[in-house]
Copies of this chain bind each other. A is one copy, B any other.
Amino acid sequence: MIPPLSTLHAAAARAKPYIHRTPLLRSAAFSKLTGHEVYVKAEMLQKTGSFKPRGMTNKLLQLSPEEKARGAITFSAGNMAQGLAFGAAIAGIKAVVVMPAAASRLKAEATRSYGAEVILHGDVSEAHAHCLGLIEKHGYTFVKFDDPAVMEGHASLALEVLEDLPDLDAIVVPVGGGGLIGGTIMALRASGSKARIFGVEPENADVMRLSLEAGKPVRSPPKPTIADGLAPPFAGERCFPLVRDHAEGITLVSETQLGEAIKLLLMRMKLLAEGAGAASLAGLLTGKLPLKPGSKVVCVLSGGNIDPERLKGVL
């Protein structure tokens, strides 16, 4: 399940001309607060405001000429939508994104701005069915978050962390379906790093934790959460075994803790994280991660796409 490092380096090189190398920033404030040496990987500064272009670009650039000619599709109202649209523009192919009709107009507009066709359709299950129908009709490639090439692309984030801080002790990663932590695990283990890997989920959307308990990926409808990017109804089939075998479990955070982490990141570090993006810091701040004092810890701030109204609510 862990690809060779050469595969990950090739993926990183493929996307590199098109994406940002985001900074790893040391936080004096959070170091003082936790007793660790705390760094954040500021991935909200990535193109489209989240880590998604890393994997999407890598995936779409590797499609066959036939697949490219037909185009790619995904079902998402979040960062994956913009990530697909961005990657498709790079690869020069058609992108279709299906969102439920109630999706944020801002996100629909942002996705369109990268050149994708955005289809707003029905409720969640109707939109999903519509997406599958379009695939059948047009032969689009369905891009999912647990696609190996997507995770291999996401691995570039942790490769950059390793370049900047080779002797990190631990990395804390927000977990939704598991695509980002999957790529992080690939990068660290393929590189031979022994850094510990901690996942964080919202209490209201803990499908990976439930899957670990069940010993297999399960489905579980999420409750509403400010970390809407971490709320898929199922854990990724290919992500699950990586998390099971290489991560040290899942720490849960409350909505209050997520809101506080967003505010703290903004006021102390001047960085805007969305709920999903701040989950790693929220997890660290619970004090529940079993870390030795003074550990070098990296919190992955995976994205910053949050609506102004929602942000006001936590300030």
Contacts and interface: CB of A to CB of B under 8 A. Distances in A.
Contacts of A26: 20
A23 B21 CA distance: 11
Contacts of A312: 312, 315
Interface stretch (A97-105, A132-140, A269-277): A269-277
A49 interface: yes
A69 interface: no
Nearest to A106: B267
A271 B269 contact: no
Given A23-B23, A263-B308, A308-B263, A270 B45 contact: yes
A contact face: mostly helix, strand, loop, or mixed: helix
Contacts of A45: 23, 25, 269-271
Contacts of A309: 315
Interface residues on A, range: 20 to 34
A204 to B, nearest CB: 24
A227 to B, nearest CB: 16
A266 interface: yes
Contacts of A28: 47
Given A308-B315, A312-B312, A312-B315, A270 B25 contact: no
- Per CB-CB distance, the 9 closest pairs between chain A and chain B, nearest first, are A270-B304, A44-B270, A270-B272, A308-B315, A23-B23, A312-B315, A312-B312, A266-B272, A49-B270
Interface of A: 20, 23, 25-26, 28, 44-45, 47, 49, 263, 266-267, 269-273, 304, 308-309, 311-312, 315
9 contacts: A20-B26, A23-B23, A25-B45, A44-B270, A49-B270, A266-B311, A267-B308, A309-B315, A312-B315
Given A23-B23, A270-B271, 10 more contacts: A20-B26, A23-B45, A28-B47, A45-B271, A263-B308, A266-B311, A267-B308, A270-B273, A271-B272, A312-B315
